[in-house]
Chains A and B, each alone.
Chain A
Amino acid sequence: MTAAPAPKIDPAKMHPLKEYKHDSPLIGCRFDPSGQFVFAGAQDNNVVRWHLESGKKTLLTGHKSWVRALAFPAKERILFSADYAGRILAWLAGAEEPKPAYILDAHRGWVRALAVSPDGTTLASCGNDQLVKLWSIPDGKLIRELAGHVCHVYNVVFHPDGKHLISADLKGIVKVWDLAKGEAERELDAKILHKYDPSFQADIGGVRGMACNADGSLLACAGITNVSNAFAGVGNPLVVLFDWASGKQKHLLQPKVKFQGTAWGVIFHPDGFLVSVGGGNGGMLWFWKADDNKDFFSLKLPNNARDLALHPDGRRLAVPFFDGSVRTYSMEAPAAKSFGRHQGNSVAV
């Protein structure tokens, strides 16, 4: 007897799966590579781990400030989490009661983002000290500092070729670094995601989410644009899609239905479409094809969303919310039988 073919992934069939509750607003999340757990960074300085099936909740304590940046090597259950006090903590993510394996005093001020190299040996971090740093994962030693940004560095990702690192800042400057030389090779222009608001005399924007597609031919940068009132957050989410080879903007991906807020995260699905999550005046998920600047599907979320993660099975998404929940969503048609209520801290939704 052969196994039934897996259901086709179809964002239009998107539906909520489970809700995992914490008592503090959540600002970042990631699945572990085994797909057993979802981890979220919280405004109470904790990292929270939930077992997806049982809903068992475990607190990873040790940070001194809010945690937004979370990253895993592709094949290992080592969690790197970073806080707004400038520290990076490495955890054995599957341990019964995870403790920090090592702690890095990584940046002066906020660590904004983390990324792990495709070969799993190097961790990249960036922060408000305008620096990008490379760390050896086995021993936590600093490999190199990459200086050149002139404002807070908001995001960092490795290119799938393993030879380039991409960093992006508050003002929408995207730098492509040659890792062998440790030099900035070129810049991409995502300045549309930044504005200096003369009324409030302050900068708003920045590259809040960033991702490459699997073959490295596309780069997506997410944030806010069209800002008319910085201090009320009046603007619209936008994903800037770059052609990697030319470095030119390929598409400006916008919601079909106008939304006020920021695109806080963006991912490429292995099937080729992009997903972004927005928070501001509520929460939304949007789905785009790489060749169309209007979303082909969107889903209204129950609260302000802050980040987005794709499960290793490619079928589930996790979204952390202001209301302290991580909610998971399926991109398949709902099963005929509904999920029951789980013990612990998760419920079917």
Chain B
Amino acid sequence: MTPLLFLVTVSLISFGAGFLGSLLGLGGGMIVVPALTLLLHIDIRLAIGASIVSVIATSSGAAAAYVRDHLANIRVAMFLEIGTTSGAITGAWIAGLLHPRWLFVLFGSILGYSALAMLRGRKRSRERHHVESSLARHLRLGESYFDDARGEEVVYEPTRPIVGLSLMYIAGMVSGLLGIGSGALKVPAMDLAMELPIKVSTATSNFMIGVTAAASAGLYFARGQIDPFVAAPVALGVLAGAFAGSKMLGKISSRAVRMTFVAVLLLVSIQMLVRGVRG
């Protein structure tokens, strides 16, 4: 393979990763890392460095549109980022103490469970009484956005902000420890605990993952894991894909977003379990 062909191949794969990632609030590492290592035989450390770039590119590429269209809730994001950043610091701190193998098994199972809960969740939550939260009101977390697919303004009031914050702390810790799963735990936390509309959950997760990834990107850069020739096509492809995805999210139905997310989450959970079991 020539460098030119490599560039084109990686850009195209990354476009897909950015497109899917921006719709689902995920960083795209679950596509970029296997594609680079298994398909293109790139060293795993460089692939992980490129996947960090992919997370930031997905986030920044789509978030400009999501913030403008009110799909991403900036107040929910700022509040929850306290949890993700402090979790990431804890994760990096205790990284040596825990064996990653068991963490992969543990969080692979948690993600699998979250996927199933999100599949069943909606019916139950419609019956369940919406818990009013005075803290959420104090933080002015309520918002509204115009849903193109439904053709109407959707008004929502998040609940259980403290549960959400605690789950974000765990999500931040996991990404600090394992370097993956940045969005995979954030979306279920916002969906199941805080009862945000699914599109708001994925768009807000997308907005947040850039900050979490930027915190570790500096470290990967200093360690020499960000190879410009590998990361450049990833960055360009993902940015273009995320930009295209951000134009789509408003228009597709919430049900389609939820179903795709559940399917991808199950795949990520299987990926993690396999890595844990193989060691």
A complexed with B? no
